[in-house]
Chains A and B, each alone.
Chain A
């Protein structure tokens, strides 16, 4: 079961998961901890800190998920474990 290829597959899958998790923590939490500082930057009337919570992080989440689906699929194919 635990062939070398499977081990390498799972390691790559895990790394991708941790990268996604890190980005998730950044856009979900870290950036909003600096809302007061970011709010001093105003673009099109938007204070940047407010903008990140209202739209910025959301856009990041959507883009991240499409990227993840592609990356994980590439990993699947590379290790020959994709579905037919």
Chain B
């Protein structure tokens, strides 16, 4: 770790050595995995391996966080704007790929087959919008936060304030899902109670982001990307090699799909994995609307956009978006393969002649997961905690031989349980847990930082006390970070929903609230303050209304019926309504009110060209 020390000394030295530093780090991590495998072979207990994996990785992140601590405003908010495109791409990859991508996505693909691919498409294609419509222009403007841009473009604190509200709502929903994910991992692999586990996960998140702000988060996220991608690829490669003899899961997925279809037909399953628009209520309409909401949400989420504030130039910002998507792509095009191999393995298991009596022996991992949380594995409709429970539940239903449909696995456990399912050594389970933790922590760090920055920079500094000294602003930011984090952990402990739904809601809220104001702000000079304010309120309001009314109802009682879906659109695509309303209101109100001043039109001209000084000059602390 001696090399990382130079972060505190000076940026130039550190950035020129990045390749070597992270190369050594990656080698060290692989050596650590081998060490764990050796310890495991020597008979060290599984739970100890779990603790070592999670403990060791968190310590590394914390060390990077502490070494990157800073009291400099530019470093704290935008990492000194000197993160090279490739590394910013890697950090964005980790920032982006959360518990939903790592833990939730392949599980949903397993359950939903083709229809789960809506998530894969939605969470990649959005980067096209980021690159062509938003990111380079925000970089030129030179903001610290997204509301900063709204305030400058739409002249005033009202637009800023609404921007902060939208930012807070979407980022908070998102961060709750991440803490939920860390809780799930800690509960299973460390054997602690879920309600305690969420706070343990929280501690890990805070050490990285609190001291060093954006600078610390950037360099830990690069480290976390390396851990999570290794942890995701190894089990997929393993399954591919065992099943087909060729270690390229993405390619051999074709063979897996063919086998899945054959096994499904043999077992009398009529709804095939590859059948489009048929699983879990995803008809073609919901499939395409989900893709739209996720893509547009990508281009509106403040914690993603603010990553492009850290590059040295506009040009680097554009290249960086491409790198981001490349690093994200590596995981996303593996996920469908991961799901296919896991499903093939399960179908094979069922085909081997599974009964309520022998499942405990053939698939003991199911009982271990059911014991961690009784909603995770259900067989014959009851929690599969032990053989006696399964036999009793199945006898009640008159099931003597188990079929694929009798075994109900929760989407959020499939990735984490796959190593056990496929009979890999426990060290791989530990690795996957560490990867899932890295994914959840890295995203939570970015989100908490986005929230704390908006509250300290936009609300406290820009709206309450313009004369606040630097040190006080940074301390306020850190205190707010902790408060928001604790609140999020509390909400997560109430288990509001599954990870993928919570994350999708966040995307819809961001899309409905921010996308029209951001895009028209750059691309339509006529957009004015009144239009933006009205558009943001209308777009965000409709999205939030639809989400809350269909999920909880007006009385916030889950037991009573909620509002009917409009035209059958699932509430994870709430922005379906917020987005067009937001655009329409913003355009109409803008046209009905006065055009922006000449000074404002010149300002827009300026952000459209890369050359020239950035618009918002930072005060050097």
Contact = CB atoms under 8 A, between A and B. Distances in A.
B282 interface: no
B313 A20 contact: no
Contacts of B333: 54-55, 58-59
**8 residue pairs, one from A and one from B, having the closest CB atoms:** A45-B254, A65-B322, A44-B254, A45-B258, A53-B117, A46-B254, A54-B336, A81-B609
Nearest to A53: B117
Interface string B312-348: 0111001101100110010011001100000000000
Contacts of B611: 76, 80-84
A64 B128 contact: yes
A26 B254 CA distance: 24
Given A83-B314, A83-B610, A44 B255 contact: yes
Interface SS, B side: helix
Interface of A: 1-2, 6, 9-10, 13, 16-17, 20-21, 23-24, 27-29, 32-33, 35-36, 39, 43-47, 49-51, 53-55, 57-59, 61-62, 64-66, 68-69, 72-73, 76, 80-84
B609 A65 contact: no
B605 interface: yes
Nearest to A14: B523
Contact of A45 (B124, B257, B321): B257
A58 B124 contact: yes
B253 A69 contact: no
Nearest to B291: A28
Contact of B295 (A2, A28, A36): A28
B329 A62 contact: yes
15 contacts: A20-B132, A24-B128, A24-B129, A36-B276, A46-B253, A46-B257, A61-B329, A65-B127, A65-B325, A66-B319, A66-B322, A68-B322, A69-B315, A81-B609, A83-B314
Given A27-B125, A28-B291, A28-B295, 8 more contacts: A10-B608, A24-B128, A45-B258, A47-B257, A53-B114, A55-B336, A57-B121, A61-B125
B313 A69 contact: no
Q: Which of A20, A24, A55 has the most CB of B within 10 A?
A: A55
A83 B132 CA distance: 18
Given A61-B124, A68-B318, A45 B255 contact: yes
A3 B611 CA distance: 15
Contacts of A13: 608
Contacts of B318: 68-69, 72-73
Contacts of B313: 83
Q: Which of A23, A53, A59, A68 has the most CB of B within 10 A?
A: A53
A20 B609 contact: no
B125 A24 contact: yes
Contacts of B125: 24, 27-28, 57, 61
Contacts of B132: 16-17, 20-21, 68
A23 B608 CA distance: 22
B288 interface: yes
Given A47-B274, A83-B315, A53 B121 contact: yes
A75 to B, nearest CB: 10
A35 B275 CA distance: 9
Nearest to A29: B288
B120 interface: yes
A17 B47 CA distance: 53
Contacts of B257: 45-47, 50
Nearest to B317: A69
Given A83-B314, A83-B315, A58 B329 contact: yes
